[in-house]
Chain A
Amino acid sequence: MTTYVLRRLIMLPIVLIGVTLLIFALLQLLSPFSRLAMFVTDPNQLKQGPEQLQEMVEALGLDDPVWMQYGRWLNQVLHGDLGWSESGRQPVVTAILSRLPGTLELALFAVIPVIFGGIWLGKITAVHQNKPLDHVGRVVAIVGWSFPTFVLGLLALFVFYGILDWFPPGRLSIAAARIVNSDAFTSYTKLLTIDALLNGNWFVLGDALRHLIMPVITLAYLSWALIMRVMRSSMLESMRQDYVTTARAKGQTERIVINKHARRNALLPVTTIAGTMFAGLMSGVVITETVFNRPGLGRFAASAATQLDIPSVLGFALFNGILFVVMNLIVDLLYAYFDPRVRLE
């Protein structure tokens, strides 16, 4: 197992360099003048005459040989410099990092019920195949899978906030925000729930959770349906395997047969989906963030894309690429844990 992990870790930087090459290649599709936008903090600087712009291009080496530009760009990236975000009006790295906690918190809270709930329901419906529980579970999953996010989000907003006034949009109420922004509250992680716990502030914790519930349910319901369906199919497949029949023939209880023999093998395809789903949640929660007025990475990326803010889009793509690579590594390691054949190969 150790050798396998080391081998995969050694591969990681090579894959990451591949990602940077791809991003850099995309960057090179733009003319040197367009790439100037990455280096100015005031668009008025771009209004100068062609001679001045050419001088800036030369000074920044934007017409140097590609390999030189790549080396310079990679050096900047390694030093945390991804250029200036026009849509965020701050450096791209700052813009991404400042919005990361909001999205990460949402994704973390959503992914836990998605994975565990989806696995559990997939298992239950498979075990009770073609029985009422299975039928109900499948219908609910199909509804969830086919429901547009914005419809569910808006419905949830109108019912649970507009009518019942239980779960408001945003990240915090004004009262909680005052506490969080005061000197008495220390932001260790920028994740409001975790920080509230670390500060021992139950009011902020309750308030943050209250603001998280509806977006989490909106996100989780849609993703959970997919996990449940995959788990159900995989579980059905496992339960038809010889080793499950053998376990039963050995006199194992049905509980052990299902949980130890069938479920563990059925988890393999779910692991793949769960890993990419988490990475997807980190980047693709635009609608949920918009409807529930939560500033996060999804809204930032969408805003940058519609505003043709190239440095921000590329910075986000790089961040997303790294995230997917890392998640893939985690998935591979989990695969090896669940299935010894993988690490032996």
Chain B
Amino acid sequence: MRKSLLVLTILLVGVGMCAFGQVPYPGTLRIGAISEAVTLDPVNAYDTSSGQQLLQIYEGLLAYAPSSITEYVPWLATAVPSYDNGLVVAGEDDFGAYTLVTFPIREGVYFHNGNVLDPGDVEYTFERCLVVDPAGGPQWMAYNVFFGLDYNSLADVVDAFGQDGAKQKIQEAVEVSGNNVTFKLYGPFGLFYSSLMNDRTYWGYIVDKAYSITNGAWPQDFDIELGVDWKMGPEGAASPLYDIPNGTGPYMLNLWLPVEQVILEKFDGYWRGWDGDHVDFMITFNISEWSTRRTMFEAGDLDICYVPRQYMGQLIGTEGLRTVFGYAAAGNSGVMLINDVNPESQFIHSGQLDGKGVPPDFMNDIDVRKAFHYAFDAATYAEQIYLGEAVPSYSQLPIIFGDAVYQTYMYGFDLEKAEEHFRKAYDGQLWDLGFKLTLEYNIGNDMRRVSMEILEANIESLNPKFDLDVVGLEWASHLPAYQSRQMMVYRSGWGADYIHPYNFIQPYYHSQGNFMRVQGFGTPETDALIAQIGLATDVAELNRLCHEVQLWALEGAYTIPMVDPTGRTWERTWVQGRWFHSMGASSGNFKAYDVWKAVEGPGFILDNILFPGMASEEW
């Protein structure tokens, strides 16, 4: 018995100490993340966690040229259409001026199931984008370019043309001719490539028509009776393509264990081939606990790891790690205040102004909103949580947009003013009765958690009858919860779809924008101004319009500005060849196809053209 125990112990210790050589699992890239994909159906995906996977699985017709945010290279198309090469033609009809853009489709490209890419797949993809319009999803950009900036949803198109007219317009929007696909755009052509057609806009990735229809996706049948909310296909987890992706990208889905990990494996039939150095697998582990993630990263069991900024001091100087920093992050975040939440929401407790909850329209009182604004200490947050690698935001337009940003702080941390506004709210009743409210953030994002705890502590310090608590939701639950107006106060953020102020102004401030649609403070007058921002060609005019909209939003106190950070990412020194494009400058937004693992190599590929301050340090 004792001998058996000894053998078992030696076996276990031996397995434990088994050395893999200097680079463990050289063919597998292992990522430690704090959230998992919400969906692997491109038409529904509009979050960075889903995008990280889709970027490896699917592809678009074009891709950004390296170190450029205005130039493109052909990808699944064989040319970048332009007026010069005759593939872009302007015209006019009863509806207005339009642009015809023709893409020759690349031949010899295979989907993961062996089907060959053809122009019909491209037509199907974009028609499906236009008929399956998920609430809070990305397709508003498709309506913007196909129909104009006044069109942000399928409902807008149906309102304008009626149901049959909308169907006809959608069919006319994408036409196949031989090996070409022609798009008819009534919206600004300037936004077409940047918002829909490139390698970072995963909502425009090409899907396999035959495979999609076989698996129950939209059958490309325009005679179908339109369903709820004018949609022709199910959304979210109910989408047939939710967890069975089939793209043309270099990696295909091997296994998705919900909440645990996503495994992608090399697609042997990839059209660009596999010459050179690559990894065969990419595994994304969902590890919300920082201590566990950190220990795995230090032990060499993760190659790339999400490190909350406030904990980075724990890793500085650790042998075998590399950090890349000093690059502009094309994104920001804010604390959203919702005007009219779902009365059944548990986040508002009693749902009454009785000291045990808040009414659903609590945030309709501007004094409440202003009090919340004054109760947040952004300067200390930037200094202590971001360790000085951020500045307080002026508004929801990131500082990278320079003069377009309204650069005056309207609110600062001032508890006296916060108290003053709370005392005025609800004609003084709120101060006497108190309230109870739950604030929300996405689990694993400790920086967001801390911001909500700061808000909680500061507001509670004003009045013992103010009772707030903070709850974290998993990312996959966070998104639908805010879209269905469950939360009254939550922290969320926006990563650029393309580099233009419109791409931030629209989601934050337009009544149909991703956030404002839920917040419910949008107005037709502001929407009109926002549409002008999208069309403005004169820089001074663009800046003036941006200032006007920001001023409106700040005076209304709809969203509490947080901070504008610079980016920082972490990886093991054996990771080689990773690089960011400006449009995806986050730790998860890179192409695994470009990466390999080796002791020697170029390390992280710095892009000092797009990011002059970008630098790396390793130990």
A residues apposed to B, CB below 8 Å: 31, 33-34, 41-48, 86-90, 98, 154, 157-158, 161-162, 164-170, 174-175, 181, 206-207, 209-210, 213, 290-293, 295, 299-300, 303, 306-309
Contact = CB atoms under 8 A, between A and B. Distances in A.
B236 interface: yes
A44 B289 contact: no
A161 B295 contact: yes
Nearest to A209: B12
A170 B287 CA distance: 10
A164 B259 contact: no
Interface stretch (B169-177, B395-403, B468-476, B605-613): B468-476
A291 B291 contact: yes
Contacts of B342: 46
7 contacts: A42-B238, A89-B258, A213-B12, A290-B292, A291-B289, A303-B443, A308-B471
Contact of B28 (A157, A158, A174, A290): A174
A206 to B, nearest CB: 5
A192 B229 CA distance: 46
Given A89-B237, A169-B295, A31 B344 contact: yes
B481 interface: yes
What bracket does the count of chain B residues touching chain A fall in? 35 or more
A158 B299 CA distance: 10
A43 B342 CA distance: 12
B237 A293 contact: no
A311 B299 CA distance: 39
Contacts of B485: 47
Interface in B325-352: 342, 344, 346-347
Contacts of A299: 259
B30 interface: yes
A41 B473 contact: no
Given A89-B476, A206-B15, 11 more contacts: A44-B135, A46-B342, A47-B484, A164-B16, A165-B17, A169-B292, A175-B25, A207-B15, A210-B15, A308-B346, A308-B471
B439 to A, nearest CB: 13
A43 B15 contact: no
B289 A307 contact: no
Contacts of A292: 292
Interface of B: 11-13, 15-17, 25, 28, 30, 134-136, 228-229, 234-238, 254-255, 257-260, 263, 281, 283, 285, 287-289, 291-292, 295-296, 298-299, 301, 342, 344, 346-347, 443, 471-474, 476-477, 480-481, 483-486
A154 B291 contact: yes
Given A42-B234, A44-B480, A306-B471, A295 B257 contact: yes
Contacts of B257: 295
Contacts of A43: 236, 480-481, 483-484, 486
A87 to B, nearest CB: 5
B292 A162 contact: no
A46 B484 contact: yes
A90 B236 CA distance: 11
Contact of B16 (A98, A165, A293): A165
A33 B260 contact: no
B299 A309 contact: no
- The interface residues of chain B, by DSSP majority, are classed as mixed
Nearest to A168: B301
A217 to B, nearest CB: 12
A157 B291 contact: yes
Contacts of A86: 477, 480
B121 to A, nearest CB: 26
Contacts of B481: 43, 307
B238 A41 contact: yes
Contacts of B474: 87, 303, 307
Given A174-B28, A306-B472, A181 B259 contact: no
A-B pairs, top 8 by smallest CB distance, nearest first, are: A166-B16, A43-B480, A42-B236, A43-B484, A162-B295, A41-B238, A308-B346, A89-B237
Nearest to A90: B258
Nearest to B25: A174
B64 to A, nearest CB: 32
Contacts of B254: 181
Contacts of A166: 12-13, 16-17
Contacts of A210: 12, 15-16
Contacts of A309: 477
Contacts of B15: 206-207, 210
B188 to A, nearest CB: 29
Contacts of A87: 474, 477
A141 to B, nearest CB: 23
Contacts of B235: 42, 44
Nearest to B135: A44
Contacts of A295: 257, 259-260
B474 to A, nearest CB: 6
B477 A165 contact: no
Central interface residue in A48, A90, A162, A308, by most chain B CB within 10 Å: A308
Contact of A307 (B263, B288, B473): B473
A44 B236 contact: yes
Nearest to A40: B238
A47 B236 contact: no
